[in-house]
C-alpha cells in the first residue's frame, strides 16, 4: 500500500501540527498503513518542524510502531512467564508449521504478520494469543491449528 501524503496531512490536521501530537499522529499513520512509511515520517517531521532523527528514535523505541510493512492481520503470541510455562513455545512451533511463518515475519501478500510479545496481562488465561487485538485464551496446539486455518481462509 502506497503512502498517500494527503491522508497523512489529514491525520496531522486532525491532531494539530504540533510536537505534542506526535505520538497520536504516528499511531494513526501506523494503524492506517500497518507500518510507518518513510515518506509519512518525513512529512510529519516537516509539518511538525521536528528533526527527522527524533521521529525515527520514537518509531524505533516503541514496539507498536514498525518501519517495515506488516500484514493486514497481526497475530501476537504471548511468551511471558505464565504463557511460557503453559505451552507458548509449542503453540509458536505449531503456528510456524501451519502458516510457514516465523516471529517477526510477514507473508509475501501482506496478509499476516506473526509477532511475539512478552506479556499481555492475561496470565490467568494462559497461554494467550491476540489476533488484531482480540484475545484468545487457554490456547492449545489444536486450537492454534484451527485458528491458523481460519486465518488462511479469511485471506484466501
Which pLDDT does position 18 carry in this prediction?
96
Q: Is 121 exposed, middle or buried (0-12, 13-18, 19+ CB in 10 A)?
A: exposed
The shares of helix, strand and coil residues in the chain, as percent rounded to the nearest 5, are: 55, 10, 35
Instruction: For 13-27, write each residue's pLDDT tens digit.
Output: 999 999 999 999 999
The predicted-structure confidence for 76-122, as pLDDT tens digits, reads as follows 999 999 999 999 999 999 989 998 899 999 998 899 999 999 998 99
Only one residue has cell 501506523, namely: 30
pTM score of the predicted model: 0.80
Domains of the chain: 5-61 (no CATH), 73-155 (3.40.30.10)
Confidence (pLDDT) at 1: 59
pLDDT for 133 equals 86
Nearest to 135 by CA among 145, 147, 146: 147
Amino acid at each position: 500500500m502506497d503512502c498517500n501524503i494527503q491522508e497523512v496531512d489529514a491525520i496531522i490536521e486532525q491532531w494539530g501540527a504540533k510536537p505534542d501530537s506526535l505520538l497520536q499522529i504516528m499511531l494513526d499513520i501506523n494503524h492506517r498503513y500497518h507500518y510507518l512509511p518513510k515518506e509519512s515520517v518525513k512529512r510529519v517531521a516537516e509539518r511538525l518542524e521536528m528533526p527527522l532523527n527524533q521521529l525515527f528514535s520514537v518509531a524505533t523505541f516503541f514496539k507498536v510502531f514498525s518501519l517495515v510493512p506488516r500484514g493486514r492481520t497481526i497475530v501476537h503470541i504471548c511468551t511471558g512467564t505464565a504463557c511460557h510455562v503453559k505451552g507458548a513455545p509449542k503453540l509458536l512451533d505449531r503456528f510456524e508449521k501451519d502458516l510457514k511463518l516465523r516471529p517477526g515475519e510477514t507473508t509475501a501478500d501482506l496478509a499476516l504478520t506473526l509477532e511475539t510479545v512478552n506479556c499481555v496481562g492475561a496470565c490467568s488465561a494462559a497461554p494467550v494469543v491476540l489476533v488484531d487485538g482480540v484475545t484468545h485464551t487457554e490456547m492449545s496446539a489444536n486450537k492454534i491449528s484451527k485458528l491458523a486455518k481460519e486465518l488462511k481462509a479469511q485471506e484466501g
